[in-house]
Structure 1
């Protein structure tokens, strides 16, 4: 055990966060996301919800303020409503990044989101059940 490392972050996930460089992206994917078929570096976080992981990751990792966006979400399809979980995510990242200012959000069309996935540094498959719960974080610098 180490001090100040949130208990819900596995050693494998902490290693990945440490390996990531400025501008690298990590996907916190919902339970329905086809992570293993889209990315070779896929970590399992079964049973963990994205809001809890997001809060923990942002205690360790700054977001990229040199990019035109710091987080990305999968756009909804057709008449699907705006997911309520996005409001939860927004509260968490705004609190974590309050000193740095507003967080810019990119929305990526569903199929383009899947096509973007292989370019990410890693995918974390969670137990999140909220539809459109997928969230990409772009790593910044200290």
Structure 2
């Protein structure tokens, strides 16, 4: 155990998150997502797992150490419901609450059509599969930077 680290963050996930650079993306997906095949095409090239964990709980763990990109308009994305782009399922509302809590401000999800989401996920740095059984528990987060207090911001 380590102090001040969410215990869900295993060594492989911590390594991947630390290895990511500014602008790289991490996907957190539900149990229905084709995670294994998609993960093969990512930068990391292998699937990371948080079995038995809900997507919102995984979001909380990841965002406890991963800063979201503040230089872009939409650092957080969600898979939109097929033929219902404005529907926000409970799993996505719960994840939205985790994002806002982690950032200390509202960071609304932007929706991505299902097949566009798959394609974007293939270009991500890594994919973290959860045990989330509810549909549409799939998210993309863009890594930001942590600047020294006296560093220029822009």
TM superposition score normalised by structure 2:
0.85
Greater mean deviation of Cα atoms: 78-87 or 5-14: 78-87
Unaligned runs of 5+ in 1: none
Runs (4+) of structure 1 moved beyond 3 Å? none
Given that 1:74 and 1:134 are in contact with CA atoms closer than 8 Å, whether structure 2 keeps it comes out as yes
The match for 2:125 is: 121
Which structure has more relative contact order (CA 8 Å, sep 6+)? It is 1
Q: Conserved in 2, the CA contact under 8 Å of 1:68 and 1:104?
A: no
How big is the shift at 1:82?
A: 2.7
Q: Judge conservation of contact 2:121–2:140 (CA < 8 Å) in 1.
A: no
Which consecutive residues of structure 2, in runs of 5 or more, have no partner in the other structure?
41-45, 147-154
Structure-1-length-normalised TM-score: 0.92
Counterparts of 1:1-142 in structure 2 under 5 Å? 1-40=1-40, 41-79=46-84, 81-98=87-104, 101-142=105-146
Q: CA RMSD in A?
A: 1.5
Please give the alpha-carbon distance, in whole angstroms, between the structure 2 residues aligned to 1:105 and 1:91. Answer: 11
